[in-house]
Chains A and B, each alone.
Chain A
Amino acid sequence: MFFWIIRRDLLLAMRRRADVLTTLFFFIIVVSLFPLGVGPEMNMLRTMAPGVVWVAALLAAMLSLGRMFASDHLDGTLEQMLLSPQSLPLLVLGKALAHWLVTGVPLVLMAPVLGIQYDLPVDALLVLTISLLLGTPVLSLIGAIGAALTLGLRGGGVLVSLLVLPLYIPVLIFGAGAVEASAAGLGAGAHMSLLGAFLLASLVLAPWTTAISLRISME
């Protein structure tokens, strides 16, 4: 059932490729806007790069959250999932993973290319990519809670940002901090460990919380 959900969501995403590409291009455009805004001074760009890429990843992940449950809610699939004898947290975990595969993974793959735009050295690119790889699943998992709570509300899109962005802040701090620490020669190990801890904690708690939230929203 878990793999079935992932396969189904991926299939649905592939049928509507434009949605996936929109998120990716949003990410690319936001990152590319910063040098235009603050000026093409390479030293400044190099120090800004991790933060900019991370903030753009946060916004891109958040923008696509609305789609996580909304279409299933509209066509009644979500109701069937709630009624099914399978464990709901597991189904939610599958949906969050599919969301990450569709929106998170392209961002992770794109990040080194964008890092080059900002003239990041190779080892910083590597750290940035690994930190995104650890951090973006957390964004999908925490975002699922917000998406479940705002299901079917008017102005849900703006509301989800108010709910979810404050919870994203720790991931942002340690994700961008990892690159800065490695650039300062401190080593990114501590930041990576914390990101991994966030990932594990949200892997356990977020699907469960999302399942409860879905039941509240669908009552």
Chain B
Amino acid sequence: MAINWFKYSSPASFYFLAGKMIPLFSIAAIVLCAVGLYIGFFVAPTDFQQGEAYRIIFIHVPAAWMSMFLYVVMAMWSGIGLAFNTRLSSMIATAIAPTGAMFTFLALWTGALWGKPMWGTWWVWDARLTSELILLFLYIGFMSLQAAIDDPRRADKAGAMIALVGVVNIPIIYFSVKWWNTLHQGASVSLTQSPKMATTMLTGMLIMSLACWMYAIAVVLIRTRAIILERERHTAWVGELQGATP
């Protein structure tokens, strides 16, 4: 059976698709978060070096991953929107930015809370921390540029340009621990080697990452729906929607 994917590139049909998907992803996020936190707090053993404080990893690492990943996704949708002039892609990019900024802030904040007991300081000017901070600035720049432009088409395209220019920062963050000798520890998890941590810890972390992922999808879809309604408020189908649910 061939699915006509282009059907859903229309904001009107995507609006209803998103409406059906939001509950699924929300429930998945809640369930995974509950399981992940249970493993994190009750199943995973205490770390012999870092004691109980290491448990912040269960939110810190997923948040940091999501902050980078969401930026790449945002830049990708921006690029598609710019290249194919599709309205929905740009709307999704706009909807991703606040969630990405939130995860970036969360990663920095939990990192500070983790750094205090481990390194004895809230903040160090280390390559990974600095580049993550730049990432936060990039998200804020993207959002404020879009907020400053009244014409939504120009806002989409201008935002897309700045998102694509900023994407150079992502590999820098990712490899900063390898390229520079810094205080931030190297990656504990990679696809090519066996992980350097206990299995239960890893499971908890991965489940929490999935939970963050589901949460991000759900929130982005909700925000996209709001943006669609705002931009399409003059169209017939939104009018019908209002008529149907007074």
Question: Do A and B originate from a single complex?
Answer: yes
Residues on A lying within 8 angstroms of B by beta carbon are 145, 149-150, 153-156, 159, 162-163, 165-167, 169-170, 209, 212-213, 216-217, 219
In the assembled complex, B80 has its CB within 8 A of some CB on chain A: no
B141 in contact with A162 (CB, 8 Å)? yes
Chain B residues with Cβ under 8 A from A156's Cβ?
148
Could you name 22 residue pairs across A and B whose Cβ atoms are closer than 8 Å?
A145-B161, A149-B162, A150-B145, A153-B148, A155-B148, A159-B148, A162-B141, A162-B144, A163-B141, A163-B162, A166-B134, A166-B141, A166-B166, A166-B169, A167-B166, A169-B130, A209-B161, A209-B165, A213-B158, A213-B161, A216-B158, A217-B158
With A and B bound together, what is the CA distance between A219 and B153 in angstroms? 10
Given contacts A167-B166, A216-B154, A217-B154, contact A153 B141 (CB under 8 A): no
With A and B bound together, what is the CA distance between A150 and B128 in angstroms? 30
In the assembled complex, B17 has its CB within 8 A of some CB on chain A: no
In the assembled complex, B38 has its CB within 8 A of some CB on chain A: no
Q: A-B pairs with CB below 8 Å: how many?
A: 50
Q: What's the least CB distance linking A136 to chain B, in Å?
A: 19
Which of A155, A163, A170, A209 has the most chain B CB atoms inside 10 A of its CB? A163
Which of B137, B154, B162 has the most chain A CB atoms inside 10 A of its CB? B162
Residues on B lying within 8 angstroms of A by beta carbon are 130, 134, 137-138, 140-141, 144-145, 148-149, 153-154, 157-158, 161-162, 165-166, 169, 172
With A and B bound together, what is the CA distance between A97 and B17 in angstroms? 50
A159 in contact with B144 (CB, 8 Å)? yes
Main SS of the interface on chain A? helix
With A and B bound together, what is the CA distance between A195 and B149 in angstroms? 33
Chain B residues with Cβ under 8 A from A153's Cβ?
148-149
B165 in contact with A166 (CB, 8 Å)? no
With A and B bound together, what is the CA distance between A145 and B138 in angstroms? 14
Q: What's the least CB distance linking B132 to chain A, in Å?
A: 12
Complex partner residue of A149 from B138, B158, B169, CB under 8 angstroms:
B158
Chain B residues with Cβ under 8 A from A169's Cβ?
130, 134
With A and B bound together, what is the CA distance between A90 and B161 in angstroms? 19
Chain B residues with Cβ under 8 A from A145's Cβ?
161-162, 165
Q: What's the least CB distance linking A163 to chain B, in Å?
A: 5
Chain A residues with Cβ under 8 A from B169's Cβ?
166
B148 in contact with A163 (CB, 8 Å)? no
User: From B134, which residue of chain A is reached at the shortest CB distance?
Assistant: A166
Given contacts A145-B161, A216-B157, A217-B158, contact A166 B149 (CB under 8 A): no
A216 in contact with B166 (CB, 8 Å)? no
Chain A residues with Cβ under 8 A from B153's Cβ?
219
What 9 A-B pairs are tightest by C-beta distance, nearest first? A166-B137, A216-B157, A163-B141, A162-B141, A149-B158, A153-B148, A166-B134, A213-B161, A159-B148
B165 in contact with A216 (CB, 8 Å)? no
Q: What's the least CB distance linking B127 to chain A, in Å?
A: 9
Complex partner residue of B148 from A154, A165, A170, A209, CB under 8 angstroms:
A154
Chain A residues with Cβ under 8 A from B134's Cβ?
166, 169
User: From A206, which residue of chain B is reached at the shortest CB distance?
Assistant: B165
With A and B bound together, what is the CA distance between A156 and B157 in angstroms? 17
User: From A212, which residue of chain B is reached at the shortest CB distance?
Assistant: B161
Given contacts A166-B134, A167-B166, A169-B134, contact A159 B157 (CB under 8 A): no
B154 in contact with A219 (CB, 8 Å)? yes
Chain B residues with Cβ under 8 A from A150's Cβ?
145, 148
